[in-house]
A and B are shown apart, each in its own frame.
Chain A
């Protein structure tokens, strides 16, 4: 897994803890590379959609429509949450489900 983040969004520590907890609860042994996106050049190179972003073997755990925005380092990512809400982090159950799906694809 790769965890991309930028410090302009205060969710980055909680987001990483969320990933680890979702993996633990799913019985998945994770190797996480934590990458801080520092510059707009980094953001462009990584096609960074905002902080935090979870990549499994380079694929976004929460793929979204390409809105054509130029990637910038100081971008916070919005996640859909239960009840039609929007928040700075995905729900634990959604992370766990996405991790399980990614694990299945990895062994297929």
Chain B
């Protein structure tokens, strides 16, 4: 079960594909943080990838920090290994941090179940929104930009009108 809306987000420090680290502590002062559970292979991630990257770029201008976390077991899904994450981030020119949760502890701490699955954290690092990026993996059919609405609300000091939606995507591949 995922962490509830209004609850403090679990901290983390994870290696990123650019050779650095991502942590909530490093985002101190950011008005909002987006934590997205992500991977390389899932077609749903691929379908939302460009939209998510565009949102991360757009909201970075407002100081929003975006971290995508790959937690899939690379034994059964070698395309989701850290090495392949490095390749994917470079190929797709990710503007957000792409971090590896090898132990899967962060995914479990958030109660994440799918990729993509996003959490928006407010300035106090409490969960303000949890769910999908928008309402359809097909960009031509998407009409409700959940993540954008949540970020707009948090940046304006409001609670999102819609704070929780069902994430749609592949299940996280847990180590066996």
Contact = CB atoms under 8 A, between A and B. Distances in A.
Interface of A: 8-11, 40, 69-70, 72, 74-79, 85-88
Interface in B119-176: 137-139, 168-171, 173
B47 interface: yes
A14 B28 CA distance: 43
Interface of B is mostly: loop
Contacts of A85: 47, 139
Q: Give 9 closest A-B pairs by Cβ, nearest first.
A: A78-B43, A86-B46, A88-B43, A8-B171, A76-B170, A87-B47, A72-B76, A76-B43, A76-B42
Given A69-B79, A76-B42, A77-B43, A87 B171 contact: no
Nearest to A87: B47
Interface of B: 41-44, 46-47, 76-79, 137-139, 168-171, 173
B104 to A, nearest CB: 15
A10 B169 contact: yes
